[in-house]
Amino acid sequence: MNTADLGLPVDVPSTALFTDQYELTMLRAALTSGTADRRSVFEVFTRRLPDGRRYGVVAGTGRVLDAVENFRFDPGVLGFLRERDIVDERTLEWLAGYRFSGDIWGYPEGEVYFPGSPIMRVEGTFAECVLLETVILSILNHDSAIAAAASRMSAAAGGRPLIEMGARRTHELAAVAASRAAYVGGFSTTSDLAAGFRYGIPTVGTSAHAFTLLHDSERDAFRAQVETLGRGTTLLVDTYDVAEAVRTAVEVAGTGLGAVRIDSGDLLLVAHRVRRQLDELGATDTKIVVTSDLDEYAIASLAAAPVDAYGVGTQLVTGSGHPTSSMVYKLVARAESADPKAPLVPVAKKSSGGKTSVGGRKWAARRLDSHGIAEAEVIGTGRVPASLADRQLLVELVKGGEVVAREPLDAARDRHAKARAGLPMSATQLSRGEPVIPTEYLHEGSGS
């Protein structure tokens, strides 16, 4: 199959090959050994948060649901696997009819998480669950990293709007996912039209320095932009001399100019000067937007500056130094046989080097203090204590292979704002520290 025939889609037609080869070779061997149909439980979790992070943010859940639905082995994909001799004919026949028929539970998108949190639980036969490992981790690791960075940035912004503008700093399809995750984490708009088209995220954009340089004078450039886009547009004022550009901008657009953008220099100093100049010129309602390699620390440093909005690119789409969330997908329980009624047996990896896991099908709840603020992430197996019954975090996402929890992206965005507000105040501090609340484990028989 010629991959060029696929064009450049915003959605990928099939997610079946978004996987590692060993998922298929494990399937082949399990079919041979007769263990492929054993009921199994896999969980997604992370053993630790990235250095300095106080909480994680679940993002990408909606994309995971799409990926599971689109996990199909069409003739072209099966032909590729046959040509490469990756699996045998028996396995190819099994893959041709693949449809995930199990259940998926998870933290709802936008929720916060901590080390050990069972962020997603996938249940079904070993064969159907093991195939989803790589694509689920690929989505959750990327999107959650972006959302966590976005959350830190939006907290640092203190309610001022944030514009996602990192499309040119990452892979073209990753840029769409990054825009989506940033919106969940608290960003207001994106410059990426594909993200606006696919997910309905508000889009913004006006001009770059090239537009000013194209014209014979800065005044000509400003006049063309205002005549085309209206006085409410945003004029870029740092191509040449900022003070002169601000003066020209107000002369061209009048005191009703929407905004000016500053993309270089000492942003704190320049923002104060521009605000003073705008006010002196009577443009008291004109906003100031700043860009230029911002991250959460730079945004926090501008808290006292007369800045109305921030545009963030590189640092956002690279997770502000942590481009992955280090999530893993581990088998935590499996049946003793292929009999659907066979009981589940907890299983866990035991090894040195910190890569151990906790066996058993888990639940999770967040315990609150007397003020309604989170004080612990409680994870357990077996019966949920009565005191935590109404604080459980996992929700049903897929039942019997059918998606049951699709929701608007704004619901995830609102959920995150609420979840972050329910954490101790130190959660949004940018100083280094441990997770803002501890993780506690309750095993079957230890609860009350």
pLDDT at 352 over 90: no
Amino acid 443: pLDDT = 75
Question: Model confidence over 63-85: pLDDT tens digits?
Answer: 999 999 999 999 999 999 999 99
- Whole-number pLDDT of residue 446: 45
pLDDT value, residue 349? 81
- Angle, CA of 309, 311 and 312, to the nearest 5°: 135
Rounded CA gap, 290 and 312, in Å? 9
For residue 175, how many C-alpha atoms fall within 13 Å in the half-sphere facing its CB?
22
Which residue type, as a one-letter code, is found at position 224?
Answer: A
Q: For the chain, what is the mean pLDDT?
A: 94
Looking at residue 10, what is its pLDDT? 56
pLDDT at 6 over 80: no
Q: Six-digit token pair at 400? A: 């019997």
Give the mean model confidence (pLDDT) for residues 299-320. Answer: 97
Share of the chain above pLDDT 90, in %: 91
Say which residues have a Cβ less than 8 Å from residue 45's Cβ, sequence separation at least 6: 115, 116, 117, 118, 119, 327, 328, 330, 357
**pLDDT at res. 355:** 72
C-alpha to C-alpha distance for 434 and 103, rounded to whole angstroms? 33
pLDDT band at 269 (very low <50, low <70, confident <90, very high): very high
Indicate yes or no: pTM above 0.95.
no
Alpha carbons 80 and 237: distance in angstroms, whole number: 53
Over residues 180-200, the pLDDT tens digits come to 999 999 999 999 999 999 999
Predicted local confidence at residue 14, as pLDDT: 84
Residues 6 or more apart whose Cβ sits within 8 Å of residue 338 = 34, 35, 37, 38
- Check if the beta carbon of residue 347 is closer than 8 Å to that of residue 359: yes
Tens digits of per-residue pLDDT, 222-255? 999 999 999 999 999 999 999 999 999 999 999 9
pLDDT band with cut points at 50, 70 and 90 for residue 353: low
What pLDDT is attached to residue 444?
67
Least confident among 3-7, 28-32, 304-308, 435-439: 3-7
User: Do the beta carbons of residue 50 and residue 144 sit within 8 Å?
Assistant: no
Distance CA 376, CA 171 (A): 37
Neighbours of 170 (CB within 10 A): 20
CB 119 within 8 A of CB 5: no
The strand order across the sheet containing 259-262 reads 189-190, 162-164, 309-312, 287-290, 259-262, 234-236
Give the confidence band of 296 by pLDDT, cuts at 50, 70, 90: very high
Partners of 366 in beta bridges = 377
pLDDT of residue 52: 87
Question: At 433, is the pLDDT very low, low, confident or very high (cuts 50, 70, 90)?
Answer: confident
pLDDT tens readout for residues 148-168 = 999 999 999 999 999 999 999
Q: 92-150: per-residue pLDDT in tens?
A: 999 999 999 999 999 999 999 999 999 999 999 999 999 999 999 999 999 999 999 99
**H or E stretch covering 381:** strand 374-381
